[in-house]
């Protein structure tokens, strides 16, 4: 495998954010469905009202978001090795643009939920591959959740990397879990070294 691209999740991956998804889902009464799919299935005026609730939580979390330690260095490291960077988020284009501007980050493509393609489906990952003009076996996906693993696996991505301090949450899943960006960077450095053999 020659690594030519890295497709990132945003919330919890590029930035640390605090979302109480249990509370938000309870407030929206999603009945265990993925939030975006659930909202889309509603009739008006319920739909607009609940979208506003979600957007309020997202706005608050986005304003307070912090760049994940080591992330700037890691993104620079990828750029220096000509590895393209994609961002695929279920968050809005507006929130993504705010965070990219705030932390001075650049991605070669950004797929937000306005695309209509949402994780855990693999569709937004495939859209990113198309925009980056890369094949699935040339890319890794970097995320922090089961949604990211599901989406990447459905898209056929061979390397799925998860940033999380809670490795046990991903037991038995087809992903490698790292507790820090530095650890993940070392893993990718190893991958790149193997390419040169």
- The DSSP string of 68-122 is PTTHHHHHHHHHHTT-EEEEE-SS-HHHHHHHHHHTT---SEEE-GGGS--TTSS
Classify residue 147 as exposed, middle or buried by CB count within 10 Å of its CB (0-12, 13-18, 19+): middle
Q: Which residue is nearest to Mg ion (CB)?
A: 12
Contacts with Mg ion by CB under 5 A: the residue count is 5
Is there binding between residue 58 and Mg ion (CB under 5 A)? no
Nearer to Mg ion, 9 or 138 (CB): 9
By beta-carbon proximity to Mg ion, the closer residue of 78 and 151 is 151
- Based on the shown chain and the rule CB under 5 A, indicate whether residue 144 belongs to the binding site for Mg ion: yes
Q: How far is the CB of 140 from Mg ion (least distance, A)?
A: 16
- Phi/psi at 176 (nearest 5 deg)? -100, 135
DSSP 43: P
Q: Per-residue x/- mask for Mg ion, residues 3 to 32, rule CB under 5 A?
A: ------x-xx--------------------
CA distance 105 to 66: 13
Tell the smallest beta-carbon distance from residue 43 to Mg ion (Å). 29
Q: Which residues bind Mg ion (CB under 5 A)?
A: 9, 11-12, 144-145
């Amino acid at each position: 495998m020659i690594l030519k691209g890295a497709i990132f999740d945003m919330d919890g991956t590029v930035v640390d954010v605090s979302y109480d998804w249990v509370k938000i889902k309870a407030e929206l009464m999603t009945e265990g469905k993925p939030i975006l799919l659930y909202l889309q299935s509603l009739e008006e005026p319920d739909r607009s009202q609940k979208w506003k609730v979600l957007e309020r939580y997202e706005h608050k979390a986005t304003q307070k978001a912090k760049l994940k330690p080591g992330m700037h260095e890691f993104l620079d490291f990828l750029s220096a090795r000509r590895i393209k960077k994609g961002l695929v988020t279920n968050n809005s284009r507006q929130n993504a643009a705010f965070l990219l501007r705030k932390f001075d980050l650049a991605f070669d493509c950004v797929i937000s939920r306005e695309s209509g393609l949402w994780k855990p489906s693999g569709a937004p990952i495939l859209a990113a591959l198309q925009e980056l003009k890369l094949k699935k076996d040339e890319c890794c996906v970097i995320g922090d959740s089961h949604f990211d693993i599901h989406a990447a696996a459905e898209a056929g991505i061979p390397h799925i990397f998860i940033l999380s301090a809670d490795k046990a949450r991903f037991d038995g899943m087809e992903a490698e879990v790292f507790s820090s960006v530095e650890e993940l960077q070392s893993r990718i450095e190893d991958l790149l070294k193997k390419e040169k053999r």
